[in-house]
A = this chain, B = another copy of it.
């Protein structure tokens, strides 16, 4: 109910301008969910000594990282607009590093590489939140548990 009220109050014109249909729905969670998969797969890879299982980890992780990369690209070229670049001059750099890190996660079974990808996606998430992303692009508003609400 509340989400529909928030949705109704969201600035419509802004939404119109930055998506392909334009449908206006974006959420860095799409990238984060795939990146968490990579993290967990690497974790399980190291916990296992089953050869078939470990082989599967390598190629399933590759698919998940490719999806993370795709969702990072969508944020970069579909959600973010020139005015966001003014506010966050390192916007290109952060997205570029995140996409390159997703490539790195394909190549490795190093858990730190997966954590670094999560951290870079969280920086995209931060820019999305600071540019009114949640209210202008999602119907349902979600917040990380434990986040300092005052700063959101």
Contacts and interface: CB of A to CB of B under 8 A. Distances in A.
A76 B41 CA distance: 21
Nearest to A77: B99
A132 interface: no
A84 B26 CA distance: 30
* Chief secondary structure at chain A's binding surface: helix
Contact of A64 (B23, B32, B60): B23
Interface residues of A, number: 58
Interface in A7-66: 15-16, 19-25, 27, 29-30, 32-33, 36-37, 39-41, 44, 52-53, 55-60, 62, 64
Nearest to A12: B47
A109 interface: yes
Contacts of A52: 58, 107-109
Interface string A112-129: 000000100000000000
23 contacts: A15-B40, A20-B107, A21-B41, A21-B57, A21-B60, A25-B33, A27-B29, A29-B29, A33-B138, A39-B139, A52-B58, A52-B107, A55-B55, A56-B107, A58-B59, A73-B73, A73-B99, A77-B96, A77-B99, A77-B103, A92-B93, A142-B143, A143-B145
Top 10 A-B pairs ranked by shortest CB distance? A92-B92, A77-B99, A141-B145, A2-B146, A142-B142, A59-B59, A23-B37, A25-B37, A23-B40, A73-B73
